[in-house]
Structure 1
Amino acid sequence: MAIIILFACIITLVLLIAWARVNTFLAFLIVSVMAALLLGMPLNRIPQAVNKGLGDTLGSLVIIIVLGAMLGKLVAFSGAAQKIATVLKNTFGYKYVTWAMSLTGFIVGIPLFYNVGFVLLIPIIFSVAYSYKVPLVYVGLPMLASLSVMHGFVPPHPSPMALVSQFHADLAKTFAYGTIVAIPAIIIAGPVFASTLKNMQSSPTIILQADQLTDEELPGIGNSIISSLLPVLIIGGATLTARIFGDNTGIKNIAGFISEPAIAMILTMCIATCTLGLWAGKTLSTVMGIYAEAVKDIAMILLIIGSAGILKQIFVETGVSTQMASILQQLSLPPLLLAWLITAILRLSLGSATIAGLTAAGIVYPLMGPYGPDPNLMVLAVGAGSLFCSHVNDTSFWLFKEYFGLSMKQTFLSWSLMETLVSVIGLIGVLILSEVLRQ
């Protein structure tokens, strides 16, 4: 019965937003409370679950998203995004622009969490799309496919790192195997799939494309790239420092502090305010005005993301996702396939890739043992499952939809289908790699 209620709630949410045109934030609140009541949650626990879901979700994301939006707006209005787009255009040309975007997302996605990478790279996507006069989805999806794959498959991202620990896998092998599996997933779900979306038009309400500047007004390419990708450099440099000086507790603690995404973003904003703002001739009040506009742009996105966290929390606390996973565990399937399937179902139910992966790990851990599957491949199987079919209960779904100005139907046909391709291709890659390693 609980499973039926879960799917009924998700369908109701889609209908409220797509058919009845109810405000997305309100629709999430209504469906979340409805789900809690139908699933038998005690009345006194419902407000607590609502507050916890909203607070936990925004608590971990709000600083990153807000500061990322500020940086993105500055990158756009300073001309840095235009400069990067111009260099990409001249280097790769129109024919290979989607491959260039995938490569950028792959490199940036190694050290950077998805949400940070999204808000950091979105102005570059807008600028490239404007420069080539092509749909946003066509140039944006390949880059975001790379970011998503790296977030779900390889350390040091939260879910893969935790799974490596839980399955007692080897970090270096998992990274190597994950990269091997990630490349075909990125290619097929990125440039190849994007080629089918050339005619998908959008109506973005968030304007990240500033007026085109002359070549003399643009910042240098070095300044543009370094300032735009500074969070990557800070996090990557601090992480590397912590590994090199792992025996020095003081340096390790400082590097660990700096490598936290929120701290890295704060440092980035202080530096970028100078490199792309004050030192480029802008007044401090002008830069602060750019930041204020950025916050206005993403206010509703933050509310939607927070409300998606409420629905996830209701499903977690009522135990409905665990019930579904327990049923699937009874199926007679190969361990890697079963791990992927359980994680995919949890992803459909909960929305969060990280939570789906960590929840699945506890369920499939009994499958491990002396004669069980390779633990490194088990990490990748769970990681692939955690990316399956992102939809209305996933914060990334709404980030993509709102920034790109798409309808619900368009978002399902682009973002959700891309995530499904990534997940399925990842599973196929894991199964093939498993057979190769057995030889």
Structure 2
Amino acid sequence: MTPLLATVLTAAAILTLVFLIGWVRLNPFITLLIVSVGLALVAGMPAEKAVASFEAGMGHVLGHVAGVMALGTMLGKILAETGGADQIALTISRVAGKRRLNWAMMVIGLLVGLPVFYEVGFVLLIPLAVVLSRQNSLPLTMLAFPMAAALSVTHAMVPPHPATLLAISAYHAHTARTLFWGILVGTPIAAIAGPLYAYYIVPRLGEIEPTPLAAQFTRASSPQKRPSFVLSCLTLLMPVILMLGGAVAEMIYPPAAWQYRLLHFLGNTDIALLVATLMSFWLLGSVSGLSRETILRFSNECLAPTATIMLLIGAGGGFGRELIDSGLSHSITDMALGAHVPLLVLAWLLALLVRIATGSATVATTTASGIVGPILASSPTVSPELLVLVTGAGSVGLSLMNDAGFWQIKEYLGMNLSQTLRSWTVIETLIAILGLLICLPLSWIVH
């Protein structure tokens, strides 16, 4: 299949999704299933393989996201019901003030996002955004967008995220220097794409219906005693601490050492969230006087609203897998390779095209760095560290319907398809464009 035809088919599939979901009002899961399988059939895949590809993609994404969402929702529910989220929110409000809460959420997103995946950071912090929004009579989107933008920047551009580490390895970049430039470049990008863009877009989004997911993080009744700020923060940040410990273990211990195995196990995303959730049951529950039966009821009830978003995230993964297995994403990548452009622009463009084709920032970074890595050997004047940053920046641009994060933020914030495209898709694209625009002039002085 020619690159041009592959691009046309992919664009047509995305436009069809927008039309069926946004205008026809067809169920998003059914729409994603129909368009994904239909695209595979048009691209020449056998019918049996088209269905199997969708199922494999859906299973792969849910295998990573379902446990994270379930445990993160339970943790947020217990923090809300015990008053722990209120305690954190009140302290942040007192320190930052109402007018600077969006900037405070950006800083929290940058800090929490350093060791954790975007999806994990989002489910950890969205309860806090909901409580702050309610207490200060602010739109949830005004606080959630800066937080999500900061999480996306750290996920894409700052080690020790796995995709960033793979790019560092492929480009033979220096980890500490990449971390330095990632923070230096990423912070202003998060500020522009987060709080500053939120000032512009939130008033223009129109009315947003309350979502049942946000209701999970609103207290049904006042607890007998509110846990302390330190205990509440420790519980919220426990997954971050454990994951950071796992990352540090990889740097200081050999894989055979028992310390490495223990910390690496505890630093696993699901295990870290499980530990934090159990900790919230025990510590926060005992402090607030909640009975075992009450905690069990809360942890069961809060999962019901997550079913829809899990289906949509899984279907988005199935759509991305169809693009890969049908060869469409490979053809689009070949088209970018045929363009004679500077290496930084090529890495960014490849990552962006793979992101559009697959919906995965991690796949985009690893694919682009694997292609560009060998070319870098013949371009000694290009900074490997900046190449890591532009690859990561390109990998998050144009978040569309095959991206799990697109559906996550849409459903949690209660936005419709048009609102999500005008806000979240633009935020992610701003991060991508700003990353390239900042790194290009830097490359003239940094080698």
Give the TM-score range, shorter chain.
over 0.9
Residue 395 of structure 1: how far off its partner (Å): 0.7
Structure 2 residue aligned with 1:235:
243
Cα-to-partner distance string for 1:220-262 (whole Å, 9 max, x where unaligned): 1111111111111121234334534448711111111111111
Distance 1:196 1:215, change over 3 A: farther
CA distance in 1, matches of 2:101, 2:63: 36
211-220 or 400-409, which moves further after superposition? 211-220
Residue 370 of structure 1: how far off its partner (Å): 4.3
Partner AA of 1:20 in structure 2: V
- SS of residue matched to 2:44: coil
Partner AA of 1:375 in structure 2: P
1:205 aligns with 2:209: no
Structure 1 residue aligned with 2:388:
379
Structure 1 residue aligned with 2:347:
339
1:355 aligns with 2:349: no
Structure 2 residue aligned with 1:321:
329
1:296 aligns with 2:304: yes
Cα-to-partner distance string for 1:52-101 (whole Å, 9 max, x where unaligned): 11111111221111111111111122211111111111111012111111
- SS of residue matched to 2:442: helix
1:165 aligns with 2:169: yes
Partner AA of 1:396 in structure 2: G
- SS of residue matched to 1:437: coil
Cα-to-partner distance string for 1:95-150 (whole Å, 9 max, x where unaligned): 21111111100100001111111111110000011111111111111011110100
CA distance in 1, matches of 2:201, 2:232: 29
Structure 2 residue aligned with 1:128:
132
Q: Structure 2: which 5+ residue stretches go unaligned? A: none
Structure 2 residue aligned with 1:112:
116
CA distance in 1, matches of 2:290, 2:224: 15
Residue 18 of structure 1: how far off its partner (Å): 0.7
1:417 aligns with 2:421: no
Residue 46 of structure 1: how far off its partner (Å): 1.8
Out of 40, 43, 48, the residue aligned to residue 44 of structure 2 is: 40
Partner AA of 2:191 in structure 1: I
Partner AA of 1:341 in structure 2: L
Partner AA of 2:436 in structure 1: L
CA distance in 1, matches of 2:223, 2:444: 54
CA distance in 1, matches of 2:165, 2:252: 19
Partner AA of 1:23 in structure 2: N
CA distance in 2, matches of 1:198, 1:55: 34
Maintained 8 Å contact 1:189/1:418: yes
Distance 1:198 1:59, change over 3 A: closer
Cα-to-partner distance string for 1:132-170 (whole Å, 9 max, x where unaligned): 111111111101111010001111112111111222222
Q: Structure 1: which 5+ residue stretches go unaligned? A: none
Partner AA of 1:220 in structure 2: S
CA distance in 1, matches of 2:370, 2:252: 32
Residue 428 of structure 1: how far off its partner (Å): 1.6
Residue 363 of structure 1: how far off its partner (Å): 2.8
Structure 1 residue aligned with 2:320:
312
Distance 1:276 1:110, change over 3 A: same
Partner AA of 1:240 in structure 2: V
Maintained 8 Å contact 1:164/1:379: yes
Cα-to-partner distance string for 1:309-352 (whole Å, 9 max, x where unaligned): 11111100111111112112122211101111121122122111
Distance 1:211 1:264, change over 3 A: closer
CA distance in 1, matches of 2:439, 2:45: 39
Residue 210 of structure 1: how far off its partner (Å): 2.0
1:407 aligns with 2:416: yes
- SS of residue matched to 1:296: coil
Structure 2 residue aligned with 1:194:
198
Maintained 8 Å contact 2:153/2:190: yes
Partner AA of 1:24 in structure 2: P
Name the count of aligned residue pairs: 438
Structure 2 residue aligned with 1:255:
263
Out of 196, 218, 233, the residue aligned to residue 225 of structure 1 is: 233
Structure 1 residue aligned with 2:83:
79
CA distance in 1, matches of 2:133, 2:110: 19
Distance 1:51 1:209, change over 3 A: closer
Maintained 8 Å contact 2:324/2:357: no
Partner AA of 2:165 in structure 1: M
Maintained 8 Å contact 2:227/2:287: no
Give matches, 1:261-276, under 5 Å: 261-276=269-284
Partner AA of 2:354 in structure 1: L
Cα-to-partner distance string for 1:402-429 (whole Å, 9 max, x where unaligned): 0100111111111111111111111122
CA distance in 2, matches of 1:237, 1:313: 32
410-419 or 213-222, which moves further after superposition? 213-222
Partner AA of 1:318 in structure 2: S
Distance 1:165 1:92, change over 3 A: same
Structure 2 residue aligned with 1:93:
97
Partner AA of 1:234 in structure 2: L
Distance 1:197 1:217, change over 3 A: farther
Distance 1:332 1:263, change over 3 A: same
